[in-house]
Amino acid sequence: MNILHDFIPKQKRGSKTNATATAKSNTDSRHSAFVLFSQAKNRLLDINNWYKLCGKSGAEFYLTDNLGNPTHSLIPKVGNLIRIKLPAPRNKTCDGYDWVEIEKFIKSKDVYNDVEAYGFRVRPTECPIDKSHQVAHFYNIKATSSFMIYRKSETVYVMERGRNERPNISGSVLNKLRSILISLPGMIGFSNPQWKKLVNGILYNKS
């Protein structure tokens, strides 16, 4: 998976997550792998319905423009934001939500090696609906999450890769405490089950 090497940030500090779902065509047909890749791509881009794939107890995700307004297009692009409602104490600085920004896409195809990849990377960002200019997320701005689909011949992978995840200790005392309480379980592995549900749902459409 060399084409993903430069897309996923290097792990330097904090925790990381690695969730992967894999499917291989039962018929050894490249065509069926192409179809599965395309279907998974559509589910990956349908951010507003990720919560159906994560299960009722998971987070809710909603795609917005850079000002926090719902977008007319459901196709995400660089600069769009994702509003996150967690099953956890509310964010005190941003109307209860956490926010990330889509900062980069990967669209790669290597015909010679019969591989292709598609996905995007997000990073915690400021609250778009107030003037505090504080990162509105329980992780700090160094953290990233990369969501990717990768096909190698007849095998398709859906992956989430979290890197450099550390608590956001800026803002009020209450928000510092919230960040620590939410991020610590993730740093010891409790966020992996949700990401596993998401990548499985994107690949197999099992909610």
- Residue 83 domain flag: yes
- pLDDT band (50, 70, 90) for residue 126: very high
The model's confidence at residue 206, banded by pLDDT at 50, 70 and 90, is low
Q: Which helix (H) or strand (E) holds 194?
A: helix 192-204
Start-to-end Cα distance in the chain: 27
The pLDDT-based confidence of 57 (bands split at 50, 70, 90) is low
Would you state the pLDDT for residue 68?
A: 93
pTM for the full predicted model: 0.90
130, part of any domain = yes
Would you say 21 and 158 are in contact if contact means Cβ atoms under 8 Å apart? Answer: yes
Range of the domain at 195: 47-204
- Domain tally, the chain: 1
Distance (Å, rounded) from C-alpha 136 to C-alpha 89? 13
Residue 14 is assigned to a structural domain of this protein = no
Q: Is residue 30 part of a domain?
A: no
Q: Determine the average pLDDT of the residues in 67-92.
A: 89
Q: Is residue 15 part of a domain?
A: no
- The verdict on residue 6 lying in a domain is no
Residue 190 lies in a domain: yes
If DSSP codes are grouped into helix, strand and coil, which group holds residue 152?
A: strand
Q: Distances in Å between the alpha carbon of 140 and those of 13, 33, 42, 148, 170?
A: 11, 37, 29, 22, 8
Q: Is residue 136 part of a domain?
A: yes
